[in-house]
Amino acid sequence: MPPSATPDVGQPAPEFNLKGPGGQAVTLAEYRGKRHVVLVFYPLAFSPVCSHQLPTIERELGRFTDLDAVVFGVSVDSHWANSAFADRLRLSFPLLSDFRRETSAAYGVLLDAGHSGRAVFVVGKDGRIAYKDVAPTTAEVPDNGRILAALESLR
């Protein structure tokens, strides 16, 4: 996954239309001008590192909300698997299904194994990438503190 394959900070964020809880469509465009969007790409539901990473975001969700951001987890799992995973972890933020892998590819994080790498993108209200953290391996987790600092800089 070469770093140049991911959109750079300042570039327009790739649009997406993904299935969320209950199969409801979620698009990036619906948040433009309204809220910052934090996209948390994780490789696979029910995997050990993902089962650790997503609850750390849940614990900080109030801080994300206070910074006028909405958080979405994104994986290649079906929306049914993501719903079961969110229920198991007691997550209150939506997990989106990139089952066709188009969004992972557009953000440059699709791995040869067929799932995404671990990455976080902050999309500003203007629809541009404001921050990105693409982990070098799927075992490494982006730091929530840096994500929150990036959101703070958008105030």
The whole-model pTM stands at: 0.95
- Residue 3: pLDDT band by 50, 70, 90 thresholds? very low
Residues known to be catalytic:
50
Cα–Cα distance, 88 to 57 (Å, whole number): 15
- Residue 2: pLDDT band by 50, 70, 90 thresholds? very low
Domain of residue 111: give its range. Answer: 3-152
Residue 132 burial by CB count (10 A; 0-12/13-18/19+): exposed, middle or buried?
buried
Per residue in 31-76, pLDDT (tens digit) is: 999 999 999 999 999 999 999 999 999 999 999 999 999 999 999 9
User: What is the CATH number for 129?
Assistant: 3.40.30.10
CA atoms lying within 13 Å on the CB side of residue 155: 8
Q: Show the tokens assigned to 32.
A: 């433009």
How many separate domains does the chain show? 1
Would you state the pLDDT for residue 5?
Answer: 80
